[in-house]
Amino acid sequence: MRFIWLLLFLMPITVFGQQATKNSFIIEKSVTVNVAEMTDDWDVNLQHIEAPKPGISTERTELAGKKREVMRQYPRKGNTVRATTGPAPTVGHSFEGNGFNGVPNDNDMAISKDSIVVSVTNSRIYMFNGNTGEQLLLRSLHLFSSDLDILGSKYDPKVIYDPHNDRFVMVYLCGYTWETSKIVIAFSQTSDPTGDWNLYYLPGNPLDNESWSDYPVIGISGKDLYIGINTFLNGSQNNSGFVETCLWQVGLKEGYIGFDLNTNYYNNILSGSKKIFNICPISAADESEAENMFLLSNRNTDAQNDTIFLLEVTGRVADPNTQLEVTVLHADQPYVLPVPADQPGNQWFDTNDSRVLGGYLLNGRIYFVQSCTDPSNGRAAIFHGVIDNVAENPSVVSRIFSQSDLDYGYPNISWSGSTVDDEQSIISFNHCSDNVFGGFSAIHIDAGLNASDRVEIKSGLAIVNVLSDTLERWGDYSGSQRMYNQPGAVWAVGSFGTQQGGHGTWIAEIFSPNATTFISDLEFNSSAVVYPNPFIEDLSVEFEIPQTMFLRLELVDANGKLVKTLLEDRVKGGKNRISFNEELLTPGAYYLVGTSSGARVLNKQVLKL
């Protein structure tokens, strides 16, 4: 038996005077796996490539009808111009991510302080060296789960990096029925995701009510992991048979160590005549040790609404006084259901609904994004909201970001400031139009919520044409994360149309335009002196820079693989010396690689004798 029923009780929770149910479980560790040692990957993956038929889902039919009404109410207008402020963000390292030949193209990613990228799509896990783009490892969810001995397809992976504990956490689903439904949680034992992981699974039907779990969304506080999920009746598909949205709270450190997990499962949240549909956990932008957690929801399937639900879990998972509180807010302008996005050749992308897709907490404010329609031009757009005074008297201000000749979809957001007082963001998203193939873009948002011009990260190569219909999947989400030890840097993953007519993924490092100024390769390299070279034990690097800057200095081998991160810090302007002892290095050729704000400012070969 993989979980132990610990306690079930009704607990008063501030949800409009209603009571919600808090269920507590102890979850035993199932297995420890070493990813690098896994072999014989058959990469089994079941996909349904038929487009959903009209009438198969009442909810889907109603949503399509609402979108048609939005298109009638807000027709396309190609002559509207929205003001932009300041330069666009810049793109640093950039490379193609997970290969994919099916549907949907659900992208997520996380990156460690050592620049190891874990990127996931609907059935696969890829790991890359972020500095070189080198693929370190590829595994299917099927193989990754093989020692769990649980039946059902594995799908919908999400991944997050915990900067405080320097670990990765991955969550994905198993099974489409109440008998097989599971939620798999994997905790990396170290900062190296190619090594050992502790695997657990939560019941997808913990209340034994013949429902199953779908659509996971994850986040972390300083102490706990949070998993928002939707539950559906057996046999339902395409959002039919919706039961309710629920929330798991799971201890983090227990998972890293491999101990039994304390968990709370919250249900009956807003259980009145109109339940909430989707919960998005909001993690802190900095390295928080907070014990509480904020989450967001909204009326994401309404044609138009301004309601925002602010949820707060008030304490640790093992604290019996921890409860879930809900506050109802109203944005200063409504969000409108996103219309389908154009593709060339009379093809379209499905933009889904207006659920909150990402956000972060900084200085008592929550910054979040969701898809919408811009009423001024009738285009699929980005709704960006800021909730001020989260803990005391919250209020919501918002902006709509769009382009009159493009559709925007599936945004995500990360903080890109240099200090905690520097409140600026990078929003990454997909783009397309009737004459632009689906691609990947980003904009910079300053402290005044002004948007920059758009930078195209990856252009599409052809239309996406996978389903047997003109309405194609565009994905359900995209990944974005601040680079915790490099101010002003964000990593993100999005999609683009491949030459073969399928979905491609693209991973990119993106910098705020006002990130720490860097100097050119020529200036740095010409002033840098490395000695002795060749060396036996001690090696020194002397250089001079005109101003204070953030510098990352790495030692990599001849194949581009990271050996050691030597420095990650602000370096004062003027003359500097870095020295280190590398007795443990085997003889051979290495490179000293220095980067600042995405630019390579040092690349010196050194020889160990």
User: Which pLDDT does position 528 carry in this prediction?
Assistant: 80
User: Which pLDDT does position 75 carry in this prediction?
Assistant: 95
- Mean pLDDT along residues 69-98: 85
DSSP collapsed to 3 states, 357-383? EEEEEECCEEEEEEEEEECCCCEEEEE
User: Which pLDDT does position 80 carry in this prediction?
Assistant: 65
**What average pLDDT does the chain have?**
87
CATH topology of domain 521-608: Immunoglobulin-like (2.60.40)
pLDDT band with cut points at 50, 70 and 90 for residue 102: low
Q: Does the pLDDT value for residue 188 go beyond 80?
A: yes
Q: Quick one: what percent of the chain has pLDDT higher than 90?
A: 61
Over residues 8-47, the pLDDT tens digits come to 333 334 444 345 789 999 999 999 999 988 876 655 555 5
Distance CA 320, CA 83 (A): 50
Which has more confidence, 254 or 83?
A: 254
- Residue 110: both structure tokens together: 């996380």
162 CB neighbour count, 10 Å cutoff: 23
Which value, in Å, is the radius of gyration of the alpha carbons in the chain?
A: 24
User: Closest Cα partner for 385 from 375, 393, 509, 372?
Assistant: 372
Q: How far is CA 540 from the centre of its chain?
A: 39
Coil vs helix vs strand at 570: strand
Exposure string for 353-373, b = 16+ CB within 10 A, e = fewer: bbbbbbbbbbeebbbbbbbbb
Q: Quick one: what percent of the chain has pLDDT higher than 70?
A: 87
Of the listed ranges 87-91, 338-342, 466-470, the one predicted with least confidence: 466-470
Over residues 409-442, the pLDDT tens digits come to 999 999 999 888 889 999 999 999 999 999 999 9
Q: Does the pLDDT value for residue 7 go beyond 70?
A: no
Q: How is the chain split into domains, by residue range? A: 3-33+58-511, 521-608
User: Which pLDDT does position 17 carry in this prediction?
Assistant: 38
User: Closest Cα partner for 168 from 120, 106, 100?
Assistant: 120
CATH topology of domain 3-33+58-511: Methylamine Dehydrogenase; Chain H (2.130.10)
